Chain A
Amino acid sequence: NAGVTQTPKFRVLKTGQSMTLLCAQDMNHEYMYWYRQDPGMGLRLIHYSVGEGTTAKGEVPDGYNVSRLKKQNFLLGLESAAPSQTSVYFCASIGPGGSYNEQFFGPGTRLTVL
């Protein structure tokens, strides 16, 4: 099993450009999460999904959109990138039972917005 994978690993954008980050998991997990990690701020939840076709806002959702069309994939979109969105983005998943169970993380995407 590959676990949780993220595409791309690195990306540089100019202000105003758009992009989509892809998260895929092969563990048949229901719950998927997008976090951003910034120095001194720790991990902050952007959006999450409790199942295929569902999404919900986390702590810092502004400027991001998400979609969960397939159970194994969770997409994070930036419609108009801003320098404040320069960060490392992590995807995570949890199996049945959600918060009662172990969370698995992807390797991260390092995004720089110029």
Chain B
Amino acid sequence: KQEVTQIPAALSVPEGENLVLNCSFTDSAIYNLQWFRQDPGKGLTSLLLIQSSQREQTSGRLNASLDKSSGRSTLYIAASQPGDSATYLCAVSGHKIIFGKGTRLHILP
């Protein structure tokens, strides 16, 4: 059974710092991994999708990596800004789509 874990559950970082969010999964037989952002009271916004054959994807200040063999993905945010404050979720797609519980990120001005 696929399990997806995101640690830490919450993170506070001063503005301007680079940071890494982690996502781990137990079954490496996946099609892809997707990172989402969720603002309070809002829906999920897709940030990056990494196919199982890819190692990383980049969009602006965001870079997501995937290491299937170790069951890990990271979301790297460069030069963090207060507007980056949100909950970040990862979802692993295989036979089913399984979500982590998210990391609540707070960027301190």
Task: Using CB atoms and an 8 Å cutoff, list the residues of chain A in contact with chain B.
Answer: 33, 40-43, 45, 90, 92, 99-108, 110
Contact = CB atoms under 8 A, between A and B. Distances in A.
Contacts of B97: 33, 45, 99, 103
Contacts of B41: 108, 110
Interface string B81-98: 000000001010111110
A90 B43 contact: yes
A42 B36 CA distance: 13
Contacts, number: 50
B44 interface: yes
Interface of B: 31-32, 34, 36, 41-46, 49, 51, 89, 91, 93-97, 99-102
Given A99-B95, A107-B42, 9 more contacts: A33-B97, A42-B100, A45-B97, A99-B93, A100-B51, A102-B49, A103-B93, A103-B97, A106-B43
A102 B100 contact: no
A71 B2 CA distance: 29
